[in-house]
Amino acid sequence: MASIIQFSNVTYSYPRTDTPAIRDISFEVEKGEFVAMIGPTGAGKSTLCYCFNGAVPQLFSGEMSGTVDVAGCSTFEKEIPVLAQHVGLVVQNARTQLFNVSVLQEVGFGCENLGMPREVIRDRVRQALEFVGLTGFEDREPGALSGGQQQRVAIACVLAMDPDILVLDEPTSELDPIGSEQVMEVIARLNHELGKTIFLVTHDMEFVAKYARRVFVLSDHQLIKVGTPEEIFSDQALLEQARIRPPQICTVAMKLREMGYLITSIPLTMEEAVPLFTGLSHG
């Protein structure tokens, strides 16, 4: 399958800093893939997310080398509004991205800026709100919604632009468990119902285990490992190095293995664990 995202030897330093925030990052992502990026605070995850829509380096300036191509566009050559039609970026705290007086205006804002016809905008906004489960919220003020609803409005805003790629930077880190679940469910459906390419930064390892096809581990400003969730979550040395706590079910399996039980593979979900744990015997 063709790759839709290509980072080649990307190194970037913010203005007035000596050390790069991300260093020599190279990877490709296929169209329709679900990639999760994990790693400790300060590793460079947000900075990397800002590379997708050209904000790094176009808005932040600073020093950048290497190349980033998304949906066939170089982020050096195309302007941010053009890139926004290919990549939607949702940040950690949606509140900072919402500034219109109504949800309707908020979600239609990007399309209006592109000068789309009114009927097209209306349809896109309706579909986007329906998708995130916020039909009926059109006249509400974004600032007055719950954190989870705001995050879903932010997703609807980028969805209305119909990008192929969605980049989400810790979209649930400030939400309560119910709000998080609702947002994560929307993200999973973006991938499997609409076929969107997802690049998700999160600390929610249960979600990573369940949905990500590949996991990128960023530590100390570098991409130190790319693997399947099973490869990543069973690599004890890597988990320690990148300060990652795997899903609880993986920890239980590894503990059982340490205790001498025959665990043939590390399960990622309860569904996978039940047959593995049934009738366990000592090795």
Binding footprint of ligand ADP on the chain (CB under 6 A): 14, 17, 21, 39, 41-47
Closer residue to ligand ADP in complex, CB, 66/133:
66
Residue 277 CB: number of other CB atoms within 10 A? 16
Closer residue to ligand ADP in complex, CB, 19/281:
19
d(CA 56, CA 44): 12
Closer residue to ligand ADP in complex, CB, 32/62:
62
Cross-sheet strand order for the sheet of 63-70: 22-30, 3-13, 63-70, 73-74
DSSP annotation of 19: S
DSSP-derived 3-state class of residue 24 = strand
Closer residue to ligand ADP in complex, CB, 17/74:
17
In this structure, what token pair is assigned to residue 89? 């970026």
Tell the smallest beta-carbon distance from residue 64 to ligand ADP (Å).
Answer: 13
Tell the smallest beta-carbon distance from residue 168 to ligand ADP (Å).
Answer: 13
Cα→Cα distances 187→47, 89, 156, Å: 21, 13, 11
d(CA 188, CA 99): 27
Tell the smallest beta-carbon distance from residue 32 to ligand ADP (Å).
Answer: 25
In this structure, what token pair is assigned to residue 185? 């469910």
Given a contact cutoff of 8 angstroms between Cβ atoms, the answer to whether 138 and 61 are in contact is no
d(CA 120, CA 87): 19
DSSP-derived 3-state class of residue 239 = helix
Closer residue to ligand ADP in complex, CB, 158/218:
218
Omega into 57 within 30° of 0, i.e. cis? yes
Tell the smallest beta-carbon distance from residue 7 to ligand ADP (Å).
Answer: 15
Q: How large is the angle between the packed helices 270-277 and 248-258, nearest 10 degrees? A: 20
Closer residue to ligand ADP in complex, CB, 5/22:
22
E-assigned strand segments in 71-213:
73-74, 87-90, 165-169, 197-201
Tell the smallest beta-carbon distance from residue 206 to ligand ADP (Å).
Answer: 20
| The amino acid at 50 | Y
Tell the smallest beta-carbon distance from residue 47 to ligand ADP (Å).
Answer: 3
Tell the smallest beta-carbon distance from residue 44 to ligand ADP (Å).
Answer: 4
In this structure, what token pair is assigned to residue 258? 């340490």
Closer residue to ligand ADP in complex, CB, 45/196:
45
Closer residue to ligand ADP in complex, CB, 131/199:
199
Tell the smallest beta-carbon distance from residue 42 to ligand ADP (Å).
Answer: 4
